[in-house]
């Protein structure tokens, strides 16, 4: 289909909403293309090609949707279509309020692509195989959210990839760098500084504390009860004072609990807040971004405990209805259906609960992973926005097709040939499913790939 109406391109619509068209095979039409349709009644509409139904040596039959525009289309029999001019597509994105710039159309690098910021009030799933550029692209999106919205975010960062989110690159325009400088970014990592990564057990829910201590309320009645009796205002200078406090009790349950905590090695963990600020306290101050550098923890149990304490606290405060974007990179670590430990399951179940019920309280998830099947169904099925980067596995693609029925299958299939940095964006946060080449980062990447040393 040349820019001029091709006489062999014929379009019809039986309902004014969907269309079928026949075009010359030379036009190379693909799912995801935009077409401008003249309906034969004198009006033009923007159309979106969803599938190629049959392609012969000479002819392509395709089907798609007519996008909402200034005039309401009526059914028509013999309209004509042409590939939409770039300006028309750009205007369509602008009219939909897609003004968080994240890149360019993969096929037309002069058309910018943006996300619709107000639609971040949904959960988002972000996936692609390892090395496809997920974390880089996520950084591009988070930078724009930071600059152009006032939606605070909490980043669960297991690979220390976002610890330099506050540092702009030298080529960034000074005015943009200055705006970054004004946004409060707190990076919490293990250590002794004021922004160290800490958890507070005594304010966690009883089931969360039970999971951490591997206590069952029925099987370990006495110990569980001793845990409940611990006074929330109990003042401790160091974790081991808890053992002294418990051992001073006459209750056998309290003494057993002291042994349990000792046996689990919890006194040796470095994450306990005691009277210092916990990560959840810092998140509650609502900085523009809080990066939880989980990669700085000494072991995965400490990571899970910090994650649980933050998620648990946000859930406990849900009635405050203060919006926050919870960004979980490598989400399979915290959200897998196969987690075995009680602690891991407690974290996952808290995310499942937020996925199912958090939206109306302003708790919005953005989950990134390389393995869709390693994120609990109860979480993925609640996601309305999708970013899909290169994905080779036919099994995973079929799975995504089932979970994200609103994405044309042929666009999903194209992802196996994506280059690094290319992404299919679909769902409420874009005006139409779009294959995008993500733009350049403005801030320094943290854990960039280690290179092979060369002479």
449 interacts with, out of Mg ion, ligand ADP, none, CB within 5 to 8 A per kind = ligand ADP
Residue 230 CB: number of other CB atoms within 10 A? Answer: 16
Query: Nearer Cβ to ligand ADP, position 80 or 132?
Result: 132
131 interacts with, out of ligand ADP, Mg ion, none, CB within 5 to 8 A per kind = ligand ADP
Radius of gyration, alpha carbons of the chain:
26
Query: Nearer Cβ to ligand ADP, position 154 or 438?
Result: 438
**Pairing status of strand 422-427 against strand 434-438:** antiparallel
Please select the residue that binds ligand ADP; options are 135, 290, 312, 336, rule is CB under 6 A.
135
Rounded to a whole number of angstroms, the distance between the first and last alpha carbons of the chain is 53
Min. distance of Cβ 378 from ligand ADP in angstroms?
24
Alpha-carbon distance 60 to 65, whole Å? Answer: 17
Residue 160 parent element (H or E): none
Min. distance of Cβ 135 from ligand ADP in angstroms?
3
Is residue 398 involved in binding ligand ADP (CB under 6 A)? no
Is residue 333 involved in binding ligand ADP (CB under 6 A)? no
Alpha-carbon distance 229 to 227, whole Å? Answer: 5
Q: Which of residues 126-185 bind Mg ion (CB under 5 A)?
A: 134-135
- Binding mask of the shown chain, residues 414 to 433, with x at each position contacting ligand ADP by CB under 6 A: ------xx------------
Helix residue ranges, H only, 289-380: 300-316, 332-335, 342-357, 377-380
Helix residue ranges, H only, 358-408: 377-380, 394-403
Is the Cβ–Cβ distance between 364 and 372 less than 8 Å?
Answer: no
Is residue 132 involved in binding ligand ADP (CB under 6 A)? yes
420 interacts with, out of Mg ion, ligand ADP, none, CB within 5 to 8 A per kind = ligand ADP
Is residue 130 involved in binding ligand ADP (CB under 6 A)? yes
Size of the site for ligand ADP (CB under 6 A): 14
Query: Nearer Cβ to ligand ADP, position 79 or 101?
Result: 101
Please select the residue that binds ligand ADP; options are 449, 450, 451, 455, rule is CB under 6 A.
449
Please select the residue that binds ligand ADP; options are 113, 375, 438, 442, rule is CB under 6 A.
438
Q: How far is CA 174 from CA 35, 132, 136, 180, 184, in A?
A: 39, 30, 22, 10, 18
Sign of torsion over alpha carbons 342, 346, 348, 349:
positive
130 interacts with, out of Mg ion, ligand ADP, none, CB within 5 to 8 A per kind = ligand ADP
Q: Which three-class secondary structure state does DSSP give residue 374?
A: helix
Q: How far is CA 96 from CA 55, 83, 99, 100, 118, in A?
A: 32, 20, 9, 11, 11
Phi, psi of 408 (to 5 degrees): -55, 130
Min. distance of Cβ 308 from Mg ion in angstroms?
22
Q: Which of residues 136-175 bind ligand ADP (CB under 6 A)?
A: 136
Q: Which spans of this chain sit near ligand ADP (rule: CB under 6 A)?
A: 128, 130-136, 420-421, 438, 445, 448-449
Q: Which spans of this chain sit near Mg ion (rule: CB under 5 A)?
A: 134-135
């Amino acid at each position: 289909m040349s820019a001029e109406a091709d006489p062999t391109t014929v379009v019809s619509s039986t309902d004014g909403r969907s269309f079928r068209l026949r075009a010359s095979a030379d036009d190379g039409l693909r799912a995801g293309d935009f077409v401008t349709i003249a309906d034969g009644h004198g009006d033009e509409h923007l159309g979106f090609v969803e599938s190629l139904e049959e392609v012969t040596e000479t002819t392509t039959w395709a089907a798609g949707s007519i996008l909402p525009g200034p005039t309401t289309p009526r059914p028509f029999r013999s309209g004509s279509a042409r590939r939409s001019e770039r300006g028309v597509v750009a205007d369509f994105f602008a009219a939909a309020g897609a003004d968080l710039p994240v890149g360019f159309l993969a096929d037309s690098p002069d058309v910018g692509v943006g996300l619709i910021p107000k639609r971040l009030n949904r959960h988002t799933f972000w996936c692609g195989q390892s090395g496809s550029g997920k974390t880089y692209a996520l950084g591009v999106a988070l930078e724009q959210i930071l600059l152009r919205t006032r939606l605070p975010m909490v980043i669960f960062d297991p690979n220390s990839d976002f610890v330099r989110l506050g540092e702009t690159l030298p080529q960034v325009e000074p005015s943009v760098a200055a705006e970054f400088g004004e946004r409060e970014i707190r990076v919490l990592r293990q250590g002794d500084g004021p922004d160290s990564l800490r958890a507070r057990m005594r304010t966690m829910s009883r089931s969360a504390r039970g999971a951490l201590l591997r206590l069952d309320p029925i099987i370990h009645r006495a110990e569980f009860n001793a845990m409940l009796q611990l006074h929330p205002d109990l003042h401790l200078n160091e974790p081991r004072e808890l053992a002294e406090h418990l051992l001073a009790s006459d209750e056998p349950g309290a003494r057993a609990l002291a042994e349990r905590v000792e046996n689990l090695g919890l006194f040796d963990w470095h994450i306990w807040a005691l009277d210092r600020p916990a990560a959840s306290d810092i998140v509650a101050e609502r900085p523009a971004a809080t990066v939880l550098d989980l990669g700085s923890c000494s072991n995965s149990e400490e990571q899970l405990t910090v994650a649980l304490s933050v998620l648990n606290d946000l859930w406990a405060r849900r009635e405050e209805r203060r919006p926050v974007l919870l960004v979980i990179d490598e989400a399979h670590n915290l959200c897998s259906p196969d987690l075995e430990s009680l602690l891991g399951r407690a974290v996952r179940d808290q995310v499942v609960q937020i996925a199912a019920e958090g939206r109306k309280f302003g708790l919005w998830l953005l989950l990134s992973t390389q393995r869709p099947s390693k994120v609990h169904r109860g979480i993925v099925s609640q996601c309305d926005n999708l970013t899909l980067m290169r994905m080779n596995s036919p099994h995973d693609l079929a799975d995504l097709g089932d979970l994200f029925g609103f994405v044309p299958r042929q666009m999903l299939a194209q992802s196996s040939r994506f280059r690094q940095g290319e992404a299919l964006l679909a769902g409420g946060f874009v005006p139409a499913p779009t294959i995008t080449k993500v733009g350049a980062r403005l801030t320094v990447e943290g854990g960039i790939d280690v290179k092979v040393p060369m002479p």
